[in-house]
């Protein structure tokens, strides 16, 4: 809510006080925060723990944990790629939209997202990003349930067990999840597949700058870019909770913080390289590289799906396409 409100507040301050308005607002907000911290916050000394470890030992243990399990390593690479693409996007969207708005065909139009001077209304656009990102997070459970329903076959009362006992059709999730995953209720086949779909959709959305580059910049290309970026933020809001679920399943709880710290270093390095690369390549090419990173994340995400899960998908698809053949085999 604060991120959404700050975007719209920044737009109001820019309209009222010019380009320096948002900076004046940050001074006021930071001053209020300083007063609250100085008067209300108490020092957190932590608990008295005798067996403490050095930072170096913690990091070494985290690296050993990552390298000891290929699933943790793959999940770490996946989240490094997706978060790296997201953080790089944060640095790229503003200069790209500014470039799109500098053409006379849209400078004085009433296009949504442009201010009175024909420049991108960065505050409104940022606030919209945060709004749709929050909406994606709120609708993630609904999207996951719909995805699970779509992946669940209808009941088949004619199917019976070897002992002649009638049984109803089992959902695809129960067919595909093995005993290890059943013991962990947070694990869901639909989470892995939904994440893969989200990564692929985000990859396509980050190709919008590449797509509009083939046409002359106009009101249409600017609007299409803004809509594509907003849709990207919405899908990001959907897959971030899924990543949290997968972290709780694959990463050990006793060292998840140290493991994520090491992976965060990788994310920061990738973001630094991505932003620095814009000095040598175009912004459009940087978006293309982010899209490629998400394609790679999609592939790695699918490798986490177990063999028996893929077999269950094949059987379910075959049964739906050729029901008569399956019935004759009975």
Q: Which two tokens stand for residue 189?
A: 């086949």
Condensed to tens digits (0 to 9), the pLDDT of residues 160-194 reads 333 333 333 333 334 333 434 434 433 457 788 88
* Mean pLDDT score, 4-27: 91
Residues in contact with 306: Cβ distance below 8 Å, sequence separation at least 6, in sequence order: 176, 178
Look at 17-21, 119-123, 132-136, 155-159 and tell me which has the smallest mean pLDDT.
Answer: 155-159
* 120 pLDDT more than 70: yes
How sure is the predictor about 313, in pLDDT bands with cuts at 50, 70 and 90? Answer: low
Distance of alpha carbon 288 from alpha carbon 210, whole angstroms: 7
- For residues 120-145, one letter each, b for 16 or more C-beta atoms within 10 angstroms of the residue's C-beta and e for the rest, the string is bbbbbbbbbbbbbbbebbeebeebbe
What's the whole-model pTM score? 0.76
Question: What pLDDT sits at residue 158?
Answer: 40
Among candidates 220, 217, 221, 192, which has minimal Cα distance to 299? Answer: 192
What is the rounded average pLDDT for all residues in the chain?
77
* 87 pLDDT more than 80: yes
* 252 pLDDT more than 80: no
- Cα 265 to chain centroid distance, Å, stands at 18
Percent of the chain with pLDDT over 90: 31
Among candidates 126, 299, 113, 95, which has minimal Cα distance to 209? Answer: 95
Residues in contact with 299: Cβ distance below 8 Å, sequence separation at least 6, in sequence order: none
Strand partners, 166: 160
Q: Does residue 84 contact residue 293 with C-beta atoms inside 8 Å?
A: yes
| Domain boundaries along the sequence of the chain | 1-35, 55-153+171-323
* Mean pLDDT score, 243-261: 79
* 130 pLDDT more than 90: yes
* 76 pLDDT more than 50: yes
More confident residue, 51 or 233: 233
Q: What's the angle, vertex CA 78, arms to CA 204 and CA 138, rounded to 5?
A: 70
Whether CATH 1.20.1250 fits 55-153+171-323: yes
Distance of alpha carbon 310 from alpha carbon 313, whole angstroms: 5
Question: What pLDDT sits at residue 109?
Answer: 55
Question: What pLDDT sits at residue 104?
Answer: 47
Q: Does residue 101 contact residue 226 with C-beta atoms inside 8 Å?
A: no
Q: Which two tokens stand for residue 131?
A: 């709004």
């Amino acid at each position: 809510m604060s991120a959404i409100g700050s975007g719209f507040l920044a737009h109001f301050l820019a309209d009222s006080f010019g380009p320096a308005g948002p900076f004046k607002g940050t001074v006021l907000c930071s001053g209020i925060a300083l007063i609250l911290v100085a008067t209300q916050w108490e020092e957190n000394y932590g608990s008295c723990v005798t067996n403490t470890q050095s930072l170096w030992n913690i990091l070494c243990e985290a690296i050993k944990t990552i390298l000891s399990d290929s699933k943790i390593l793959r999940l770490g690479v996946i989240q490094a790629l997706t978060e790296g693409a997201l953080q790089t996007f944060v640095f790229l969207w503003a200069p790209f939209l500014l470039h799109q708005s500098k053409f006379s065909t849209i400078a004085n139009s009433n296009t949504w997202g442009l201010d009175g001077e024909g420049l991108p209304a960065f505050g409104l656009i940022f606030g919209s990003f945060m709004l749709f990102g929050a909406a994606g997070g709120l609708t993630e459970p609904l999207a996951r349930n719909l995805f699970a329903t779509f992946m669940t076959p209808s009941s088949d009362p004619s199917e019976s067990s070897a002992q002649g006992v009638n049984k109803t059709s089992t959902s695809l999730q129960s067919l595909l999840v093995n005993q290890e995953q059943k013991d962990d209720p947070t694990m869901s086949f639909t989470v892995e597949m939904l994440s893969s779909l989200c990564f692929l959709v985000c990859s396509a959305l980050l190709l919008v700058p590449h797509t509009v580059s083939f046409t002359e910049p106009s009101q249409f290309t600017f609007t299409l870019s803004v809509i594509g970026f907003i849709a990207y933020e919405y899908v990001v809001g959907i897959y971030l909770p899924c990543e949290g679920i997968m972290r709780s399943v694959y990463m050990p709880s006793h060292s998840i913080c140290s493991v994520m710290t090491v992976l965060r270093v990788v994310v920061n390095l990738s973001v630094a390289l991505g932003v620095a690369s814009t000095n040598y390549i175009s912004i459009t090419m940087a978006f293309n590289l982010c899209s490629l990173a998400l394609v790679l994340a999609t592939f790695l995400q699918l490798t986490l799906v177990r063999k028996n899960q893929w077999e269950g998908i094949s059987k379910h698809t075959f049964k739906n396409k050729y029901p008569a053949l399956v019935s004759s085999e009975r």
